[in-house]
Amino acid sequence: MVSWPQHFTPDVVHLPCDVILQQKRCLKAHPLPGRPVSSPQVILWHCKHPHGLFSMFSLALGHMETCEKRGAALLVDWSSEELLYRGPPGEPNVWNAFFCQPAELKMPQEALRAAVDNGRYTETSSHKVVYGNYRGVIQGYGCIPAHQAAQGRALCKRNIALRPKFQQKLQTVIDSLPFGRLLAVHIRRSDKGCEAKANFELSDDRLLQRILHQCQAWGMNGVFLCTDDASLKQRLTNALERTGLSVSTYDATLPTDGTKAVHFDKTVDAYKKAEDVVMEALLMAKGCHGLLSTYSNVSAAVVYLSHDKYPKRLDKTGRFGMLECPNNREQQIDLVHHILGSTRGFMIGKSTGQEWCHETQV
């Protein structure tokens, strides 16, 4: 089990809660080489969406895409009291604890500072621009098509950068993972039944056999296991280790009640649960070589945050079984996703090309 024993100190310490003052201090404390953009409009998005962190992230991606179409730059505010998460001490904006502001990457520092200082920005709290149309998240919408995976990765490359200290912490945990090829396995359960019944249709034995099959098929010698079901996590870890596979997990805090989603559990520290889910997602995206996943906002984000050669989910027909595949056999192995009968809900892929286990660039 890999763990992060103490909360990190964020790169930026924001004293006032006012988000505009936060961004002023952020710009002064951490100048970044912005991309030259001639006086774009600045959009300040206040998230008031009290759901899981990567549900909020899908909204952030939606606003990023909208801003790019309008030639605008985005500031993300995740400090509302309505949210289920809180930032670490001194940082009320949860976004700033992990990510640089997209606007910092889009325009020169002086131009952004001037826009903030002079009130040249537009505010919104819209929660209608969900990136990805729920594909890979809600069962009825199907999996993530290849073109959407590519677009999401490109969008993240243009708009997502980790705070340096957080990236260093992530790299430290990645370096602690066992050497070799790791299969990321993400099983979302708890309250997900209303959106994806398929997530609950697999027995422990079937989950075990499915994971073993993929490890053998893709030459994986280890598993990085993530799930919001604490009991299942322990049972599967024990079962997989008995087969001789190396199993790694992240020491995330989970509810004792397996039917309760951790983000809705008020007994779990509001920052710790944010830190845990961001770390697990980035470990799957940056420290593993393939993904076996149920429907989830987290696993969708893993696809978008991952390397270009990481698994794509192909589901143009909406049918279960072997989906459309290229003529080239090597591409078939890399891109085809099997969602077979009793393994419904699993989206599978395989990375190719050079090893990138320790790559941390977004």
Q: Alpha helices of the chain — where are they, by DSSP H?
A: 19-29, 53-70, 94-98, 102-106, 109-117, 146-159, 164-176, 204-218, 230-242, 272-287, 297-305, 329-335
Is the Cβ–Cβ distance between 42 and 122 less than 8 Å? yes
Question: pLDDT, tens digit, for every residue of 282-317?
Answer: 999 999 999 999 999 999 999 999 987 764 333 333
If you count them, how many residues does the chain have?
A: 362
Tokens of 148: 């959407």
Task: Find tokens 């959407």 and name the residue.
Answer: 148
Give domain limits for the chain.
19-124, 139-350
Q: Write the class of the CATH domain 139-350.
A: alpha beta
Residue ranges in the chain whose pLDDT is less than 70:
1-39, 256-259, 264, 310-362
pTM of the model as a whole = 0.78
Question: pLDDT, tens digit, for every residue of 68-87?
Answer: 999 999 999 999 999 999 99
94: Cβ contacts below 8 Å, ≥ 6 apart? 53, 78, 79, 83, 85, 86, 87, 271, 274
* DSSP-assigned beta bridge partners for residue 185: 225, 292
Is the Cβ–Cβ distance between 300 and 130 less than 8 Å? no
Residue 11 pLDDT: 41
Residue 15 pLDDT: 27
What is the average pLDDT value for the chain, to the nearest integer? 78
Residue 329 pLDDT: 29
Is the Cβ–Cβ distance between 106 and 71 less than 8 Å? no
Tokens of 94: 């949860």
**DSSP single-letter state for residue 306:** S
Residue 1 pLDDT: 58
- The vertex-196 CA angle with 191 and 198, nearest 5°, equals 115
Residue 24 pLDDT: 54
Q: Between 297-305 and 53-70, two packed helices, what is the crossing angle to 10 degrees? A: 50
Three-state SS string over 54-112 comes to HHHHHHHHHHHHHHHHHCEEEEEECCCCCCCCCCCCCCCCHHHHHECCHHHHHCCHHHH
Q: How far is CA 157 from CA 58, 161, 290, 333, in A?
A: 15, 8, 19, 26
User: At residue 278, what are phi and psi to the nearest 5 degrees?
Assistant: -65, -45
